[in-house]
Amino acid sequence: MPEPPSILFVNRVFPPDRGASGRCLADLAERAARAGWRVTVLADGAGPVEAPRGIAVVRAGGRGEGRPGLRGYLAALTRLTVRALTLPRHDVVVTMTDPPLLALAGPPLAMRHGAAVHWCHDLFPALLPVLGVSPPGAAVRLLEGAMAAALRRHARVIAIGRCMAGRLRALGVAEPAVLPNWGDPAIRPLPRAVSALRAERGLGERFTVAYAGNFGLAHPLGALLAAAADLPEVAFLLVGDGRGHAAVAEAAGRLDNVHVLPFQPAGRLSDTLAAADLHVAAMDPRAEGLLVPCKVYGALAAARPCLFLGPAGSEAARLLAEQGCGMALDPGDSRGLAAVIRAYAADPARCAADGARAQAAAQAWDADAAAARFLALTAALRPAPCASAPAWGSGHG
């Protein structure tokens, strides 16, 4: 009987490690296994190695830090590359963008395995200055040239937004595919009245705005805090962690209507998102095409409208406009943001209608739909199976 098609995913994090890329990887890996693929995931750290049925998890060693520094990322890149070269051959090897320069490993890994695919969640090294990392100019030029050359040598490059695909084409990638992210399948739309978090924070009937996710340097929240200061009648929930969390918490400490909470357990995800009437996501304009905030997709899956503080050309802005479930604003326009929040608070019918459209958009593009698209893109890169092989390319669970 023919061997099933095989795929190797390489990424620094995989659940229970925290990280958006690891969560997306778990969603796709599980559905690829259900569709008949032999799936291996190579992640960093020493464990654990438990995984959904049908997925083999291999760990490359190391400490598996939550957010390592530059040296930690380079060490993880080395460990992952060396370990991937020792694994049995797979038909397709998929690199992701954690650690940041993992695309450089794609072409060498293709010599050991089959076709190399790069699933681009963040575009490096162009994103480094946005994150406050400024290598010497000569080093940046060297990295940019090496990255562009490596990306062009992949059998396929997959971007998470149309804005990112445009950036990749500018680097010489001929036909980047677009596969947007999706909401966590664990998210269930809930009425705000059942949210335990609302009761815990004593929010009562107050209109509530939430920012839930990474407090990163690429996600400026100054305008949101300024809007909160202008809207004492509105409650604001800032939930998550990241390098900017301490600064945000300090600034929010002067505002009685702002509640800053740490990262919440996965089991409370739906309840946390349901606590708000309206969600906000933010992105530094310099990051357009270099990343797409995944928290937008979480808000839509929770059936809540979302405001995006970022450039109009970003995938997030285009999604909200096309689906009619929110809008984009200049990330520095605190007065405009306050006015829009006030308008939503005064119009429950609008909030509900936009929330319904958000839910419909999330249901139309979920993990199952994304997995089907991903498998179709990767299936074309390997030789066609003989007639007796399993129909691995058609199902997605």
Q: Taking Cα atoms as reference points, which of 298, 352, 307 lies closest to residue 330?
A: 307
Phi and psi at residue 313, in whole multiples of 5°? Answer: -85, -5
Tokens describing residue 252: 């929010």
Give the whole-number percent of the chain exceeding pLDDT 70. 94
Contact 57, 41 (CB under 8 A): yes
CB-based burial of residue 87 (10 Å sphere; 0-12 exposed, 13-18 middle, 19+ buried)?
middle
Q: In whole angstroms, what is the distance from residue 145 CA to residue 295 CA?
A: 31
Residue 388 pLDDT > 60: no
Token pair 């509530």 in the structure block, residue: 208
pLDDT digits (tens, 9 = 90+) for 251-297: 888 899 999 998 888 889 999 999 999 999 999 999 999 999 999 99
* Helix orientation angle between 20-34 and 367-379, rounded to the nearest 10 degrees: 70
- pLDDT for res 246: 83
Residues linked to residue 291 through DSSP beta bridges, in sequence order = 288
Token pair 């000569």 in the structure block, residue: 138
Average pLDDT over residues 120-148: 87
Q: DSSP readout, 302-330?
A: TT--EEEES-TTSHHHHHHHHHTSEEEE-
Residue 100: which residues within 8 A CB-CB, separation 6 or more? Answer: 73, 122, 124, 125, 127, 128
Contact 209, 343 (CB under 8 A): no
pLDDT digits (tens, 9 = 90+) for 163-181: 999 999 999 999 999 999 9
pLDDT digits (tens, 9 = 90+) for 48-82: 777 778 899 999 998 766 667 778 889 999 999 99
- pLDDT for res 387: 35
Mean pLDDT of the chain: 90
Taking the C-alpha atoms of 358, 239, 22 and 166 in order, what is their torsion angle to the nearest 10 degrees? Answer: 60
Q: Taking Cα atoms as reference points, which of 53, 52, 51, 80 lies closest to residue 64?
A: 80
Q: What pTM was computed for the model?
A: 0.91
Alpha-helical segments (H) within the chain: 20-34, 70-86, 106-112, 137-152, 162-170, 196-201, 222-230, 245-252, 269-274, 295-301, 315-323, 334-345, 348-364, 367-379
Report cis status (omega within 30 of 0) of the bond before 16: yes
Q: For the chain, which domains are there? A: 6-182+366-379 (3.40.50.2000), 192-364 (3.40.50.2000)
Q: Is the dihedral of CA 165, 21, 219, 207 positive or negative?
A: positive
CA angle 191, 192, 194 (to 5 degrees): 80
Name the residue with higher pLDDT: 3 or 312.
Answer: 312
Tokens describing residue 14: 């995989």
